[in-house]
Amino acid sequence: MPHRSLHAAAILLLVILKEQTSSPASLSGSEWTYSGPDGETSWSKNYPSCGGLLQSPIDLHSDILQYDASLVPLDFQGYNVSANEQFSLTNNGHSVKLKLPPAMHIQGLPSRYSATQLHLHWGNQNNPHGSEHTVGGKHFAAELHIVHYNSDLYPDASAASNESEGLAVLAVLIEMGSFNPSYDKIFSHLQEVKYEGQEVLIPGFSIEELLPERPAEYYRYKGSLTTPPCHPTVLWTVFRNPVQISQEQLLALETDLYCTRENDSSPREMINNFRHVQKFDERLVYISFRQDLTYTGLSLGIILSVALAGILGICIVLAVSIWLFRRKKRSAGSQIPLAQASFERRWRCVYQPCCHC
């Protein structure tokens, strides 16, 4: 009997260990941070993919953009969650994360992608430029990521995260502007998840309200997770148009949260939790919209230079034309008195023969 008990205990221990090693938490592996000894420049030591190919985020600039008419508007199914339901909001030590139900999914991609969570990236109050993606080298104040996994092929996000196109992320660029009541449904609870590991249930709301105007306009490319383990398995959709939050809302995001636990003797503020842009060699970003100011890869500067040169040329042609017209008019005017004097002399010779002509 004791042998059976020991055998059962051993089996139970193996099961527990297996569950722990296969849990989503194992994806983060050893400790990592955004700065210091375990910061971004050291990620590739423990996570080789972070130093590999197809890394994100990137700078979205005109030289790599190509219009693709096949990029259709996405359909956001189940995004409107009733206030009677609840979301779990947590501080995971790297960001504030909202867990999403798998019934929430995207249509319009090659497979069905079901939602798993959303989180944010930001800077600090002295340098409020914490978006991960940039546009033409420009940082935005913050960035929202809504993470989905390929639910046609995989049972959950953990299983999909290391598979080709296993994940699809919607990225919303955030700029400072007017107060945003939809984002405040998250920001008003930040004080309740101030420290790592804290969790609170909040009322459900429409996640679609967090998206920008004209969501049919977006950038699309294949990239990676922007945090370790940096698996290059993400189909990115970065919306072209940003959303606005107020200065007070952004300040709450930059000052309310800590990377450390409540009783930690060395508390660390949760700031600058964004990865810098990565190399984007020999890749294209496809866009669902036609560019307004950039055509066939020409930069805005070149287009403006050509336009100014054209305007200057027109002005020169007009100035020369006016000068020639006035000169001709003056020349014609000076010939009229001479003609009149010649006529008078001829008249005197005919009708006054005593005069010497």
Which helix (DSSP H) or strand (DSSP E) does residue 118 occupy? strand 113-122
Residue 272 Rama label (left phi>0; alpha psi -120 to 50; beta):
left
| DSSP labels, 193-246 | G-STT-EEEEE--BGGGGS-S-TT-EEEEEE--SSTT--S-EEEEEESS-EEE-
Which of 15, 210, 21 minimizes the C-alpha distance to 100? 210
Dist CA 165 CA 232 (whole Å): 8
| DSSP labels, 26-62 | GGG-S---SSSTTSGGGHHHH-GGGGSSS-S--EE-G
Check if the beta carbon of residue 60 is closer than 8 Å to that of residue 134.
yes
Which helix (DSSP H) or strand (DSSP E) does residue 335 occupy? helix 300-351
From 3, 61, 94, 148, active-site residue: 94
Dist CA 111 CA 133 (whole Å): 25
Residue 136 Rama label (left phi>0; alpha psi -120 to 50; beta):
left
Counted residue by residue, the chain has a size of: 357
> What does the buried/exposed string (b/e) look like for 56-78 if buried means 16 or more CB atoms within 10 Å of the residue's CB?
bbbbbbbebbeeeeebeebebbb
94 part of the active site: yes
DSSP type of residue 348: H
Check if the beta carbon of residue 92 is closer than 8 Å to that of residue 196.
yes
Residues acting as catalytic residues = 94
